[in-house]
Chains A and B, each alone.
Chain A
Amino acid sequence: GENVEQHPSTLSVQEGDSAVIKCTYSDSASNYFPWYKQELGKRPQLIIDIRSNVGEKKDQRIAVTLNKTAKHFSLHITETQPEDSAVYFCAATPFYNQGGKLIFGQGTELSVKP
């Protein structure tokens, strides 16, 4: 089955710097890769997603890149702000999946220092 590894587990950056979180997946059949953000004490929320037919997707300061050959995808946050501090989860799902079964990474705790 699918396995998703996420690195680093913690990341600390200065406000204004960029942050990069990387995930690798094992199932080459996976075709959907969302990223969820969970602020302290709050529920996870989808911030961006990418499908296997594209290599990059951007939404303001957030971007996700996908390398299908290497089976890894990354979240890039530019010009970080304190409100970006949260736990970020990547996920993957194979095309044969039923029931929207996402396989999540272990999470990255991002801390943005003012």
Chain B
Amino acid sequence: DGGITQSPKYLFRKEGQNVTLSCEQNLNHDAMYWYRQDPGQGLRLIYYSQIVNDFQKGDIAEGYSVSREKKESFPLTVTSAQKNPTAFYLCASSPNGATNEKLFFGSGTQLSVL
């Protein structure tokens, strides 16, 4: 299972703290995505990036921030403004960001609040 790597696998956040989730891919994909997975709610898009130095808000971007300084990397910061951060976070990539492309997912990060 190579290709797209997320770290850490488990992360704990204290109240008022910002935490950053790492996502790295060696697939040479242009597009990268962050999804949040909550039980019974499917996958909801937080942010996506089709190209380096550009990214767009998804459906639930409030309380999150991202950067895309390198093609391989798309880190997600969960800020203190996100009041309910406990969830499973999945990073994904696709070759060109076109509508009909297969998404390649990472293995996820479980974030919990202390």
Contacts and interface: CB of A to CB of B under 8 A. Distances in A.
16 contacts: A42-B107, A43-B107, A44-B90, A44-B105, A93-B99, A94-B99, A99-B97, A100-B31, A100-B98, A100-B100, A101-B48, A102-B103, A104-B43, A104-B44, A106-B41, A107-B42
Interface in B82-98: 90, 94, 97-98
A97 B99 contact: yes
B26 interface: no
B58 A100 contact: no
A61 B106 CA distance: 26
Interface of A: 4, 6, 9, 31-32, 34, 36, 42-46, 49, 51, 89, 91, 93-95, 97-102, 104-107
Question: Which 6 A-B pairs have CB atoms at the shortest separation, nearest pair first?
Answer: A43-B105, A104-B42, A104-B43, A106-B42, A97-B99, A32-B100
B42 A100 contact: no
Contacts of A91: 43
A101 B45 contact: yes
Interface residues of B, number: 28
A49 B105 CA distance: 16
B50 interface: yes
Nearest to B106: A43
B97 A89 contact: no
Given A32-B99, A98-B50, A98-B99, 14 more contacts: A43-B105, A45-B105, A49-B102, A51-B100, A91-B43, A93-B99, A95-B99, A97-B99, A98-B56, A99-B56, A100-B100, A100-B101, A104-B35, A104-B42
